[in-house]
Structure 1
Amino acid sequence: MPESSSKLSRISLSDTMLSSAHNVDAVLSGSSLSDSLAATPGELRAASQAISFHVMRRLGLVRAVSGMLVERTPPYPLFNALLLVALALLDTACQALAQAGEPLRRDIPVYAVHTVVDQAVEAAAGHRKMRTYKGLLNGTLRRFLREREAILAQVLQQPEARWNHPAWWIKQLQHAYPQEWERLLEAADQPGPMTLRINLRRSSQAAMQEALEAAGLESQPLGEAGLVLGHPRPVQQIPGFAQGWWSVQDASAQQAAGLIDPKPGMRVLDACAAPGGKTAHLLEWADVQLQALDADAGRLERVEQNLQRLGLMRPGVTLHCADAADLDSWWDGRGFDAVLADVPCTASGIVRRHPDIRWLRREADVAKTAGLQRKIVDALWKTVSPGGCLLYSSCSIFPQEGERQAEQFLKRHAEASRLPAPGQILPLADAGRISLYDGFFYALFAKSP
């Protein structure tokens, strides 16, 4: 079978596999895949990202296979990571052979079976600390090829291998969504679409769609300002990026500004602003007096860069590095007409875009982030003017970070009433299609005059 979708040119597959192994090892050591990829050499980054994402989406399975095939793993973590990379690619290669001509997902790197084995061994042989184990790697991969069906039948009895999520995560979803949990886990392994939000101050949905068509890019309208691309592209390859015609923003996140529905002259607070997508949307929506907060100075710089590109840095827009819950460090006592509290969370609703999240989170993190959320929203509620509103949002599908927070908030604040909002958005789609929406939660509260 021909080598595929990620074509090799000057960079060999062995180089890419080794780079991907470094990324996988970083995640297994507790670092985010985004941070590891940022440190990956530029010529390797795109291919390494594709493979690393694929391994993260198959990590439960390949770890179970590795544990079955290798009784005593070498005391060198990078070798173990390389084995996981090779097993993920090898299993995909076997699937491609079995499917005999059926279309494969474009995000999955597919190589010939013999190529995966040879290049994995070459990667080990070329690394000083791993060349001792190249025989073990070769033998393990070839045994997997010989016994694949029997091995998979055995390991797929394990929930983590079957669903490629931690066991605690699976149980959380089974309890919260007894009818949908399987579909949610399956959807998490389907990459989300690339969705643009048009900056209506600089372009229009129709004009942007024409520009995309002229560049040979397919898209479909979403709402009044969204366009869903037929296939993801680097932002520099999409017309109008430098001109600030659009931003990348998921369909769920695009709902925030409309729920607040800011009017000209309103005082608005975006309390957890980075990376600035919702901040920009609020400023595109109306000429408001906006204050954006974030506790991370580096991420706040990114907010400013995005606003500059979109032409939205203007008088009345201020950015402040501060902890939203520490009012004494930033609040001058003047109330806001609207507050957006897009609070920190486990990010369980966006794991299809960040497949490492499931492996980085721990069960205790759910309660930990829920406690932080309560602290933030209770503090921010004090800044809402009588008659104003607070929009609570999180990119989570765990009820502890969504509906339960909303219910408990109302119990703690008698002067709050709940207004219409989507509530829990689940990343589900029918008939095998990919959902246009990430997992998200919205609750809108009004403060009595």
Structure 2
Amino acid sequence: MRESHHRDLKPRVQTDFKSELKQESLAFAMLGAASATVQVQQGMALPQALAGIFANSNATPQARGAIQDIAYRAMRQLALSELLISYMAEKAPDPMVAALLSVALPLIVPVDGSPAPYEAFTVVDQAVTAAGSHPDIARAKNMVNALLRRFLREKDVLMEEALENPEAKYNYPQWWIDAVITAYPKQWQQVLEAGNKAPPLTLRVNARRTSVQDYLARLAEEGMEAQQIGPSAIRLAKPVPVLQIPGFAEGDVSVQDAGAQLAAPLLDVQPGMRVLDACAAPGGKTCHILELADVSLTALDADPKRLQRVQENLDRLQLQATLQPAEAQSDAWWDGQQFDRILADVPCTASGIVRRHPDIRWLRRKSDTRQLATLSAEILDNLWKMLAPNGKLLFVTCSLWPQESEAQAAAFAVRNRATRLDAPGQLLPLGSSEQDHDGLFYALFRKDA
């Protein structure tokens, strides 16, 4: 890729422009997705970028869904799109123009093998309309038209050449590809490919309200195909908006990845125990613990705003916990009473949930792994002193990198003379029917009396 096309160049663009396009149009959705893409390239997480766009545009629920779908598609093909653009444009387009092209190309040729969601000529027409409606890029609408039409004419040749480039073929930075190959030499291709697929919609059945079999029967009555994939886990054959999930608002089920549903049972909580969920937001594991037993639970998180999400989940499920805004590496908040169980879902690069958050690959840097592993070690050592004798601490991370997972667990056990108990270890996100879950790591420790 020519230097002039490099993604690290981040000129500022007008992303808060209010479009006059009709919200039901594809052009409106593409423009919103392009604005989100630019903000990711400037360092903002995609969910935050989308939230700002939704608020600024006052988008309808249908428009929000379309913008989000197109933006996530763009993230999963960003390296390929950028390389294709560099082939066709002698000079790097302005950031917003490049972003608009980067959301258009995946709509024409989805590399995951799924059918194109729109006719190619419709995508071209609506991309040009979107460009013409934005004051920063209206002058470039002819270029948008020319490049996309050229792509349609030369698609096979351009794609063949681009897919010889590893970054474009797998849609990850080269350092990420190298790290996966090093860590998982036999399964690296499956791991990379799974990260480019949309995740399934997996539900956790609330055992306090219903059973897996009864809920499956309810789904069947609603004409929704689903299957059980874990003790409390049900995967829907076709994802639907959360509010369309039967019984969700009433607390019968929650949305939670099948791999994440292993955490609460591993803690083996018993009624009356004192339990700490560190780094708790958004509260999926917090609520699962409380569904399993009547315990006194403290949910800790450094971000008070994220704790609001925990409270919303508790309210929906009619559960109670003590919410504590504080950093997990600090003990200033602690009253000195030790906990029987501690769940430590520590900060990490989130490399194991990239299919759910495809922007992560473009936001992370190789050096982040070392920095986050250092912070996580500090958190684990701090939490260990809060654990009662014979208590258990479950270390969880959603990373694929051994430095953040197995190496961290082994070093922690040595430093603290912790007894390591049976736990799944590294779960690889392979995208198969048997392993269609996020890339989580589990290590369980006991503090001997």
TM-score normalised by length of structure 2: 0.91
Cα displacement string for residues 273-310 of structure 1 (whole angstroms, at most 9, x for unaligned residues): 10011111111111111111001001111111111110
Distance 1:109 1:216 in 2: 26
Partner secondary structure for residue 401 of structure 1: coil
Aligned twin of 2:420: 418
**Cα distance change, pair 140–434 in 1 and its aligned pair in 2 (3 A):** farther
Cα displacement string for residues 210-229 of structure 1 (whole angstroms, at most 9, x for unaligned residues): 22122211111133222111
Letter in 2 for 1:325: Q
Is contact 1:190–1:434 with CA below 8 Å preserved after alignment? no
Indicate yes or no: 2:429 matched with 1:427. yes
Cα offset, 1:397, TM superposition = 1.1
Aligned twin of 2:202: 195
Cα displacement string for residues 244-300 of structure 1 (whole angstroms, at most 9, x for unaligned residues): 111111111100111101011111111111001111111111111111100100111
Distance 1:148 1:350 in 2: 31
Letter in 2 for 1:354: H
Indicate yes or no: 2:53 matched with 1:34. no
Indicate yes or no: 2:379 matched with 1:397. no
Aligned twin of 1:47: 66
Aligned twin of 1:3: none
Is contact 2:30–2:130 with CA below 8 Å preserved after alignment? yes
Distance 1:164 1:305 in 2: 35
Aligned twin of 2:446: 446
Aligned twin of 1:65: 84
Is contact 2:279–2:301 with CA below 8 Å preserved after alignment? yes
What is the percent sequence identity of the aligned residues?
Answer: 50
Distance 1:294 1:157 in 2: 44
Letter in 2 for 1:68: Y
Partner secondary structure for residue 363 of structure 1: coil
Aligned twin of 2:236: 229
Cα offset, 1:434, TM superposition = 7.9
Cα displacement string for residues 375-396 of structure 1 (whole angstroms, at most 9, x for unaligned residues): 1001001101111111000111
Is contact 2:74–2:106 with CA below 8 Å preserved after alignment? yes
Cα offset, 1:417, TM superposition = 0.9
Distance 1:120 1:435 in 2: 38
Aligned twin of 1:133: 140
Letter in 2 for 1:275: P
Cα offset, 1:429, TM superposition = 4.4
Distance 1:390 1:258 in 2: 13
Aligned twin of 1:366: 369
Aligned twin of 1:436: 436
Is contact 2:300–2:326 with CA below 8 Å preserved after alignment? yes
Cα displacement string for residues 168-217 of structure 1 (whole angstroms, at most 9, x for unaligned residues): 10010011111111110001111111111111111221221122122211
Gaps of 5+ in 1: 1-8, 97-103
Cα offset, 1:73, TM superposition = 2.1
Partner secondary structure for residue 367 of structure 2: helix
Cα displacement string for residues 106-150 of structure 1 (whole angstroms, at most 9, x for unaligned residues): xx6521121111111111122222121112111111222222222
- Given candidates 136, 159, 168, the residue that maps to 2:175 is 168
**Cα distance change, pair 17–238 in 1 and its aligned pair in 2 (3 A):** same
Aligned twin of 1:86: 104
Aligned twin of 2:188: 181
Distance 1:113 1:289 in 2: 56
Distance 1:79 1:10 in 2: 20
Distance 2:103 2:253 in 1: 36
Is contact 2:343–2:395 with CA below 8 Å preserved after alignment? yes
Aligned twin of 2:152: 145
Distance 2:358 2:212 in 1: 31
Aligned twin of 2:6: none
Bigger mean CA deviation after superposition, 55-64 or 137-146: 137-146
Cα offset, 1:84, TM superposition = 1.1
Cα offset, 1:347, TM superposition = 0.9
**Cα distance change, pair 343–83 in 1 and its aligned pair in 2 (3 A):** same
Q: Aligned-pair RMSD on alpha carbons?
A: 1.8
**Cα distance change, pair 28–301 in 1 and its aligned pair in 2 (3 A):** same
Distance 1:119 1:398 in 2: 41
Indicate yes or no: 2:323 matched with 1:319. yes
Cα offset, 1:72, TM superposition = 1.2
Aligned twin of 2:32: 19
Gaps of 5+ in 2: 1-21
Aligned twin of 1:348: 351
Is contact 2:429–2:435 with CA below 8 Å preserved after alignment? yes
**Cα distance change, pair 434–30 in 1 and its aligned pair in 2 (3 A):** farther
Is contact 2:108–2:116 with CA below 8 Å preserved after alignment? no
Is contact 1:192–1:434 with CA below 8 Å preserved after alignment? no
TM-score normalised by length of structure 1: 0.91
Distance 1:331 1:413 in 2: 20
How many residue pairs align between the two structures?
Answer: 423
Letter in 1 for 2:325: C
